[in-house]
Amino acid sequence: MIDRYITQQIKKRGITAYDIIGGPSIDPEPNNWARPYNERVRCNRFQGEYPDYRLCELLTERDFNPDNPYENLTISVNDLVRYWWNNLADQEAIIADAFEDILAEYKDRMLLEKEGEEGRMDINDALDEIFFDLPSRVYRIC
């Protein structure tokens, strides 16, 4: 559904790949040497400078507001995120990064607790204690 809608909007507005990736002025026919450059160049069809703004502009019902790009979207942000997660995201890598962040935060909190109890603690001892005791802590949580 989202793919189809984006494709329809691109065709309806006459947008080219150069509009999506280009700057404020683009050359829609860069390999056409028969016409001079100043005759081929035109303004970009998008007002937004960044790719995320350009997608918002493409999905906006009325006039695009660069100060609030997410207002007036024809597709809700929740639906866009769901589409991204189900079709485009590398889910395993994202989940691995999230677990790594959780473990790093957990380790930092444990180190602060240990440091507060015993003054200054050796980092290697603290890491050994965390990683060797981690399975029992995880099982207690679950």
To 5 degrees, how large is the angle CA 114–CA 116–CA 119? 90
Residue 56's SS3 state is helix
List, in order, residues 6 or more apart from 60 with CB less than 8 Å away: 69, 71, 72, 73, 74
pLDDT along the chain (142 residues), means of 10: 91 89 85 86 87 90 85 90 92 92 86 66 63 52 44
- pLDDT at residue 142 in the model: 42
pLDDT of residue 4: 92
Q: Could you tell me the CA-to-CA distances from 129 to 57, 65, 70, 103 in Å, in that order?
A: 52, 53, 47, 14
Beta carbons within 10 angstroms of residue 78's beta carbon = 8
Confidence at residue 36, expressed as pLDDT on a 0 to 100 scale: 87
60 bridge partner residues? 73
Identify the pLDDT of residue 116: 64
